[in-house]
Amino acid sequence: MRAVRLHQYGGLDRLTLEQIDKPTINADDILIQVKAAAVNPVDWKIREGYLKDFIPYDLPVTLGWDLAGIVTQVGENVDQFSVGDEVFSRPNIARNGSYADYIAVKADEAVLKSTKLDFAQAATLPLAGITAWQCLVDVADIQPGQRVLIHAGAGGVGHLAIQIAKAKGAIVVATASSTNLELLTQLGADEAIDYAKAPLAEQISPVDLVLDTMGGGIQQSSWSLLKPEGMMVSVVEPPSEETAKQHNVQAAFVFIEPSSRILTELNKLVESDQLRPLIEHRFPLEKIAEAHQQSESGRTRGKIVIDVS
């Protein structure tokens, strides 16, 4: 089968499309023929070696940890899937990924995809959607009427977070560059903020929750936007507990874990027309380097899909 593998950390030229054996499955696994994969910033962060202390791989590794496809084999302990099922998954990042014709995934990391999603759409939901749900619902427990600030609302995590927060009844404030303000409104944001126009404090009245997808100066400038007893949740940089105390707010850092429970919740939102992924960039597997370049630009609207087969 074809797979895009990494033999050494580094730049785009380290992405190698090659022929390797199909994965073998364990008793708790399913084998999935990958129809579509999605690219996430973690893919090129891993490629560059930025995360090698955090996730130590025995190279070579197949990259990509978002997918939708068809079950072609089930392990002997698996009773929830049959050959031919159409599934989506954000698998364990420690194993080989989804830039390949086939992937072995633990059965409890996959869920039948909604029939309202094609394979490309379904491939874009798991990683960014689980992340957004873990932050907004599991960690922050957002409530109807709360004001939620979502940074980078036009990006992979942000555009799903806006829709999830709206589905939970929150009032959504989201940031983007001027070119993406209309998109934020289309996604359901109540207030679309141009981060380049003026300091955020001059544009945003206090919020109950900040979803920080940027870190650095953007996280720093967001503390003062929180109401007392509000919460800062970051997916990029652990927020300082000390700073949180000074502002009388809570702080949390989230690193995504695979979750079939959340995939099921995302499916429900899709079924009720409250969640729809946006795909603005599509590449064949052979053009994986261009897909990484797009992700690294920091300007991606919605998601990047790799059409595998």
Ligand X SMILES: NC(=O)c1ccc[n+]([C@@H]2O[C@H](COP(=O)([O-])OP(=O)(O)OC[C@H]3O[C@@H](n4cnc5c(N)ncnc54)[C@H](OP(=O)(O)O)[C@@H]3O)[C@@H](O)[C@H]2O)c1
Among 214, 262, 275, 305, indicate the residue that binds ligand X (CB under 6 A): 214
Of 55-84, binders to ligand X (CB under 6 A) are none
Sequence-distant (≥ 6) Cβ neighbours of residue 73 within 8 angstroms: 25, 30, 31, 83
Q: Residue 203 is encoded by which pair of tokens?
A: 């544009």
Within residues 6-25, the interface with ligand X by CB under 6 A covers: none
Position among 259, 260, 267, 300 found at the interface with ligand X (CB under 6 A): 300
Q: Is 157 helix (H, G, I), strand (E, B) or coil?
A: helix
Instruction: Name which of 235 and 244 has its Cβ closer to ligand X.
Output: 235
Stretch that binds ligand X, among 148-156, 238-246, 260-268, 283-291 (CB under 6 A): 148-156
Q: At what angle do helices 126-133 and 156-167 cross, to 10 degrees?
A: 50
| C-alpha span between 101 and 177 (Å, rounded) | 37
Considering only 124, 213, 250, 260, the residue that binds ligand X (CB under 6 A) is 213
Pairing state between β 67-74 and 86-89: antiparallel
Residue 212's nearest CA partner among 161, 170, 168 is 161
Residue 177 CB, shortest distance to ligand X, in Å, is: 3
**Long-range pairs of 253-256 with CB within 8 A, sequence gap ≥ 24:** 254/131, 254/134, 254/135, 254/139, 256/90, 256/127, 256/130, 256/131, 256/134
Among 98, 121, 267, 295, binds ligand X (CB under 6 A): 295
Site track for ligand X across 172-191, x = CB under 6 A: ---xxx--x-----------
| Selected binder of ligand X within 102, 119, 195, 223 (CB under 6 A) | 195
Residue 74 or 154 with smaller CB distance to ligand X: 154
Q: Interaction with ligand X in 254-293: which residues (CB under 6 A)? A: 254-256
Query: Whose CA is closest to 192, among 125, 183, 122?
Result: 183
Between 28 and 194, CB nearer to ligand X? 194
Q: CA-to-CA distance for 147 and 251, rounded, in angstroms?
A: 16
Residue ranges in contact with ligand X by CB under 6 A: 40-42, 128, 131, 151-152, 154-158, 175-177, 180, 195, 213-214, 218, 235-236, 254-256, 295, 298-301
